[in-house]
Amino acid sequence: MLGRNKDPPCSVALMPEPMHLPLGRRPGLRGSLYHRALLFALLGGGCLVGAVLASTHSAELFAASQRDSTLCRAIAERRPMDSLCPTCHGTTASAGHAFAGPVQTPLPALAAREAKAESLQPEIGLQRHMATVGAAFVPLFLIFVGLSVRSVVRPVVRLTRAVREAEATGLPLQVPEFGADEVGELAHALSRWHARRLESLAETAQHRAALDREVILHEQELSIEQQRRALLRRVLSAQEEERRRIARDLHDTVAQDLAALRLEIERLSRQPMAPAIAARLRTLEEQTQAMHATARRILLDLRPLVLDDMGFLPALQWHLERVAREQSIRGQLCVDGDEAPLDRETSVTLFRIFQEALQNVVRHASADHVLVTVAFGKDSVALTVEDDGVGFAPEEPGSARALQQHLGLCGMRERAQLLCGTLEIDAKPGQGTTIHVVAPLSQDAKESPS
């Protein structure tokens, strides 16, 4: 450290042994701890003058010393010197004094090293002193540490307990009074955090409750929709059942009665009778015939018994032919896939959709052809009614025909939905209309003729 100092411009050759030179300390001020003498070699008028600047012996300060000559020699020979001042130290010192000579500089500084025991005496003394003080201090220190740790840990334990309780009970955090230290701060922070958490929990619960209410409302709406569907299904099925019964009754009673009546009139008219009565009987027979035809038309409109007696496809074919004949349209039925039995609800519903679709064609489409396709898939059946009419030309809004058209379409859609099926209408002006219904095939479907 000495030799590396650039300023003041002096360089001192290092001594063979490390030096204990507290040069940074101000010599003399703490002389009682200083046994080392510091020597300044001053260059004045070509001769070296040395002086003791610091010493434990106050008498030595600034006194002339034999060191001077040694110093001179060291400087002149430019090498470290080792010597002992017999005036001060006698001849007993085990280690010599070392002097380092300034090499070229005008302001050399020199340090002297003195006897080890002598020079280390304060440290040794301090060591002993420290050991004594330390021995006394360690237990105190341990006690202090123990107390400190306790003072930190205990509140933390209490705080932890309080937090656990708050967590378990969901009540606000009851913070024990800890004072203003870090643990106290922590406790307050925890308390604030917990309060906020409780608030946000309460908020979440509120949101959840609101959400739950919405879900319940939605479910209620759904169930209302389901109830509506179920009701509609019941109404429709009751209507179908009633129509079927009335049609069957008409068929079995009124129509049969009229047939019997006609036969009876015919039998009567074979008897010899006055021409006037014969003419009356003929008229009566014709009237009966007309009544019979009317009864049949009514019952067919109510419910085609073909559907119950023969099944879906024959009924479709029959109805298509009937409408085509009456309306001068050409109709064609195509069946794709392997015909699968339809349960009664599916066949009746699909038939009613078909009837409605055909009626729309007749009413609105001015079509020449109707192509009806029934495609049986693996687990669904698709019914397509395609015409080559004017396409979907919506009736003037608000008109009776528009309402009728709208109701017709709605009715078809509702019926398809009752089957858990879908209904699509593809219609563009001039492009004809296609109605496409897909209904699932129920697994245990059985065509059940009445």
Partner 1 sequence: MNPIRVLLADDHTVLRLGLRAFLEEQTSLAVRVVGEASGGQEAVALAQSLHPDVLMLDLSMPGMGGLEATIELRRLEPRLRILILTQHAEAIYMRRLLEAGANGYLLKSARGDELLCALRAVAEGGTYMEPTLAGQLMAHPEHSGDDTATSAEEAYARLTQRERQVLKLIAEGMSNKEIASALDVALKTVMTHRVNLMDKLDIHNHARLVQFSIKVGLLPMA
Q: Which residues bind partner 1 (CB under 8 A)?
A: 248, 251-253, 255-257, 259-260, 262-264, 266-267, 270, 289, 292-293, 296, 305-306, 309-310, 314, 317-318, 321, 330, 332-337, 368-369, 371, 373, 375, 386, 388, 430-432
- For partner 1, the closer CB: 160 or 256: 256
Q: Residue 259: how many CB atoms within 10 A of its CB? A: 14
To the nearest whole angstrom, how small is the minimum distance from the Cβ of residue 263 to partner 1? 5
Q: Which residue has the tokens 């309402």?
A: 403
To the nearest whole angstrom, how small is the minimum distance from the Cβ of residue 259 to partner 1? 4
To the nearest whole angstrom, how small is the minimum distance from the Cβ of residue 297 to partner 1? 10
Q: Residue 224: how many CB atoms within 10 A of its CB? A: 10
To the nearest whole angstrom, how small is the minimum distance from the Cβ of residue 216 to partner 1? 47
- For partner 1, the closer CB: 182 or 249: 249
End-to-end CA distance of the chain: 122
Rama region for 274: left / alpha / beta (φ>0; ψ in -120 to 50; rest): beta
To the nearest whole angstrom, how small is the minimum distance from the Cβ of residue 428 to partner 1? 9
To the nearest whole angstrom, how small is the minimum distance from the Cβ of residue 412 to partner 1? 21
233 closest CA partner among 446, 37, 418: 418
To the nearest whole angstrom, how small is the minimum distance from the Cβ of residue 261 to partner 1? 8
Tell me how far apart the alpha carbons of residues 351 and 343 are, in angstroms, rounded to a whole number.
12
- For partner 1, the closer CB: 197 or 296: 296
To the nearest whole angstrom, how small is the minimum distance from the Cβ of residue 382 to partner 1? 12
With a CB cutoff of 8 Å and minimum separation 6, the contacts of 303 are 240, 243, 244, 246, 247
* Cβ pair 112, 86 in contact under 8 A: no
Q: Which residue has the tokens 């608000």?
A: 398
CA dihedral sign of residues 423, 445, 306, 348? negative
Tell me how far apart the alpha carbons of residues 328 and 362 are, in angstroms, rounded to a whole number.
10
- For partner 1, the closer CB: 241 or 309: 309
- For partner 1, the closer CB: 113 or 244: 244
To the nearest whole angstrom, how small is the minimum distance from the Cβ of residue 417 to partner 1? 25
What SS3 state is found at 180?
coil
- For partner 1, the closer CB: 427 or 439: 427
- For partner 1, the closer CB: 398 or 430: 430
- For partner 1, the closer CB: 120 or 281: 281
* Cβ pair 232, 418 in contact under 8 A: yes
- For partner 1, the closer CB: 242 or 309: 309
- For partner 1, the closer CB: 172 or 449: 449
To the nearest whole angstrom, how small is the minimum distance from the Cβ of residue 314 to partner 1? 5
- For partner 1, the closer CB: 232 or 313: 313
Question: Measured at the alpha carbon of residue 250, what is the angle toward residues 240 and 360, in degrees to the nearest 5?
Answer: 50
Q: In what order do the strands lie in the sheet with 47-54?
A: 47-54, 38-44, 109-111
50 closest CA partner among 330, 60, 59: 60
> Residue-wise over 282-315: b if at least 16 C-beta within 10 A, else e?
eeebeebeebbeebbeebbebbbbbbbeebbbeb
To the nearest whole angstrom, how small is the minimum distance from the Cβ of residue 254 to partner 1? 10
> Residue-wise over 102-136: b if at least 16 C-beta within 10 A, else e?
beeeeebbbbbbbbeeebeebeeeeeeeeeeeeee
Look up residue 59 and give its DSSP letter.
Answer: G
